[in-house]
Amino acid sequence: MCGIVGYIGKRQATGFLLDGLSKLEYRGYDSAGIAILEKDGPRVEKCMGRLDALRKKIEGRVPTGTVGIGHTRWATHGRPSDHNAHPHTDPTGKFVVVHNGIVENYLSLKEDMLAHGEQFSSETDTEVLAHLFANYYKGNMEDAVHRVLKTIRGSYSLAFMCAAEPDKIICTKKDNPLVVGLGKDENYIASDIPAIISSTRDTYIMNDGEIAIVTADGVKLTDLKGNPITKEIFKVNWNAEAAEKGGFEHFMLKEIYEQPKSIRDTMRGRVNGKTGKLNFTELNWNKDFLKDIHKIFIVACGTAYHAGIVGKCYIEQLAGIPVEVDIASEFRYRNPIVDKHTLTIVISQSGETSDTLAALREAKRLGSHTLGVTNVVGSAVGREADQVVYTYAGPEIAVASTKAYTTQLLVMLMLAIYMGNLKENLDSALSEDLVKGIVEIPELIHRQVESVDQIKVFARKYGSAEDAFFLGRGLDYAVALEGALKLKEISYIHAEAYAAGELKHGTLALIVQRVPVIVIATQEDIYDKTLSNIQEVKARDASVIAIGYEGDEKLAKYADHVIYIPRTGKYLAPLLSVLPLQLLAYYAALTRGCDVDKPRNLAKSVTVE
């Protein structure tokens, strides 16, 4: 959470920083600020609220200078306010810092400083860093930064700037993402590539413990002791357009519509629709490797966790290996029984989620083999897991995850087929059918997302509801969990997902007249049971919207409304049944006037615990 950006070169920095921050607002949007090195020192402009509030604040008095750093905040220490907004400075205003992360020992440092008479103007942990930076500065900015890093504990990506050395920005990171962009006669820093992609595709993806001394002419990289290091330039393989809305009203809608492409990109090179064969060249596992794996853990947060629940069904049923799915923030502290006979799969769109990373490290520490499934090449999960399988969803900007989720489902299905084949647990005809079915999915998704009119009507009809319930059994239940999360996070309608058979064990008490109940009914082996559950809620006068296969006339007799999806197999159904749920959440949020891409209190990429 929080986005940082920096510019040094010949252009006016303010424009670059504001543009960069607009691309990073998904990381946090409760305040924004910039600091520009003007002739007589740094000028800081910051305020609470969205970036537009900052733009207004500086209208007609834009800071001028060719070096600057900026920040968009998701509050951790100190509520959103003008004072708590970044950048932060020391009391002289000459030393400036922007920070993404948490300084764990800031309180004791602050107490020391207060005891020495130092004054603070914010409640943030970051202000302590600016004080330290100033206190440690003895004529060499690099030395001061080294000392700051030795003093603090926690997680961070940081950028430092000071009046005495106006020709450089120094940045570094630990457990939070940071990229350095390489331009001609100018260079950039950012929390994420979209902020700099319109200027360069050449980047250094910074690792923990690396420091970049960024000037207009070049970038010097060192370790924490100041020893020079070399690093490969990472060339970004997508362009600025991919990080723009491209004519859609919101990123979320654009990303929903991008799913045929992201699914196609994720299967490319892995499945062959003609032969029905599938491979993961990046894994190179064999039968012996899997024989040694007695159990699989899937660990993730939020939407990625929901993809993990689907993954469990896939792996257990197709590969015959027992799977436990864990919420990362629980796994890391619950002393899981993990050893060298376990495979831990962590799923993370961003590859930077703090709890997921900690869980990955814990699994490694306990001797598990680890596999990362992530969307971001060069992310911490990508670097730290023993092996990595990338989803190729492209940049996901909306806070509510959509296309990343379906690519995660696809990867989990492909992994299950891959493992099932290696273990000779999977019937070869089923394996071929599944692979051929996968190849058809992008076209089916395309068809599905094009038929939205009915969903818009439901969104208007039920958009004023206070509560909603999502029901399903088996894989349908796993998808119901994701549907409920989508609805609550962007429309703020209270939504809960239940295994359809569980409702009567308490929750049925909440089913009253006209409460919307969304029932997913694609799993044919348990279809009749789901129909009975529809009757149970109908008997309490709920309004049932069912999601089922085209041609399922029976469903229409039981439910108030049916959203049809193209008929497909049991395992592929989640890739289609989630689409109406994503769209329903989107249009319900619009109906209620919510800010779809930037929901209340949330931010993408949760890099704090």
542 token code pair: 């709920």
Among 100, 191, 329, 401, which residue interacts with ligand F6R (rule: CB under 6 A)?
A: 401
Q: Which is nearer to ligand F6R, 8 or 400 (CB)?
A: 400
Q: Kindly write out the interface string for residues 485-514 of this chain, putting x where it contacts ligand F6R by CB under 6 A and - elsewhere.
A: x---x-------------------------
| Position closest to ligand F6R via CB | 302
Name the 3-class secondary structure at 63: coil
Q: Which is nearer to ligand F6R, 349 or 568 (CB)?
A: 349
State in angstroms the smallest separation of the CB of 567 from ligand F6R: 28
State in angstroms the smallest separation of the CB of 397 from ligand F6R: 11
Contact flag: residue 255 with ligand F6R (CB under 6 A): no
Characterize the bridge pairing of strands 41-48 and 323-327: unpaired
Tell me how far the alpha carbon of residue 175 is from its chain's centroid: 15
Contact flag: residue 22 with ligand F6R (CB under 6 A): no
State in angstroms the smallest separation of the CB of 45 from ligand F6R: 31
Backbone angles phi, psi at 280, to 5 degrees: -120, 95
- Among 25-33, 90-98, 266-274, 300-308, the segment contacting ligand F6R (CB under 6 A): 300-308
Asked if 5 and 24 count as a contact pair (C-beta separation under 8 A), the reply is yes
Catalytic residue check, 2: yes
How are the residues of the chain apportioned to helix, strand and coil, as percentages rounded to the nearest 5?
40, 25, 35
Instruction: Please report the DSSP string for 394-412 in residue order.
Output: ----SSS-SHHHHHHHHHH
Contact flag: residue 348 with ligand F6R (CB under 6 A): yes
| Amino acid at site 187 | N
State in angstroms the smallest separation of the CB of 510 from ligand F6R: 24
Q: Which is nearer to ligand F6R, 323 or 400 (CB)?
A: 400
The catalytic position among 2, 162, 301, 594 is 2
Residues 590-609 that bind ligand F6R (CB under 6 A): 605-606
Catalytic residue check, 171: no
**Cα(240)–Cα(194) distance, rounded to whole angstroms?**
7
State in angstroms the smallest separation of the CB of 280 from ligand F6R: 20
Among 155, 157, 344, 356, which residue interacts with ligand F6R (rule: CB under 6 A)?
A: 356
Asked if 493 and 479 count as a contact pair (C-beta separation under 8 A), the reply is no
Among 350, 368, 421, 568, which residue interacts with ligand F6R (rule: CB under 6 A)?
A: 350
Contact flag: residue 303 with ligand F6R (CB under 6 A): yes
Asked if 492 and 484 count as a contact pair (C-beta separation under 8 A), the reply is no
Name the 3-class secondary structure at 158: strand
**Cα(153)–Cα(103) distance, rounded to whole angstroms?**
6
DSSP letter at 353 equals: -
Name the 3-class secondary structure at 520: strand
Only one residue has tokens 């997680």, namely: 155
Q: Which residues are catalytic?
A: 2, 604
Binding-site ranges for ligand F6R (CB under 6 A): 301-304, 348-350, 353, 356, 400-401, 485, 489, 605-606
